[in-house]
A and B are shown apart, each in its own frame.
Chain A
């Protein structure tokens, strides 16, 4: 079956760095997405990786290793507004998105 694993919850301090891991097992691979979702709102796109390596976009970076079925989202200089759920999703061979359950990130002052 298809499976996306990510931690349920993480806590970090304002100004620090946090890494959210995601491992996956899917039928085919057409890219991995990270989305941010604040409570009561729809997800917003953060990043897309289809090739191995690191993609940097401001305070956020995303890494992919296809051979390991592994990705991480790195958030630097954490701000209180970064408190949200972070969803990892993989697009399978049918171009369908397979979603992880999300990681709730709690930022403390």
Chain B
């Protein structure tokens, strides 16, 4: 199947700093990428849908000024957590939709963010 990479896999930062997470589709072009957040023992929560060349669509309750998404190319989307706080500590996962018939989403390995 298609491969999606995510970098970094783990980051620890101080409160008030900004963190950028990259999501790349390595062997296919992804016009749509999704950003999820997952708290321990909870299901995936969709934060935003990112379409190449256009503004991201944010889910209700997600602050677009705090979670900046850029989808500059068909293989790269970035999520920047601005002025991170301890409550932003979570597992952030990106996925990219392939062009296959089954509309499968391919997931990156996730980024564990810990804000001190």
Residues of B within 8 A of A45 (CB): 1, 104-107
Does A72 sit within 8 A of B, measured CB to CB?
no
Residues of B within 8 A of A43 (CB): 44, 93, 107
Does A60 sit within 8 A of B, measured CB to CB?
no
Instruction: Name B105's closest neighbour in chain A (CB-CB).
Output: A97
Does B46 sit within 8 A of A, measured CB to CB?
yes
A91 touches B43 (CB 8 A): no
- Interface contacts (Cβ under 8 Å), in number, total 46
A101 to B44, CA, bound (A): 8
Interface hub of B46, B103, B108, B112 (most chain A Cβ within 10 A): B103
Residues of A within 8 A of B108 (CB): 42
Q: Quick one: which of B43-70 are within 8 Å of A by CB?
A: 43-44, 46, 49
Residue numbers of A with Cβ under 8 A of B are 30-31, 33, 35, 40-45, 48, 50, 87, 91, 95-97, 99-102
Residue numbers of B with Cβ under 8 A of A are 1, 6, 34, 42-44, 46, 49, 91, 93, 102-110, 112
9 new A-B contacts, CB < 8 A, other than A87-B43, A95-B103, A96-B46, are A30-B103, A35-B107, A42-B110, A43-B107, A45-B105, A99-B44, A99-B46, A101-B42, A101-B43
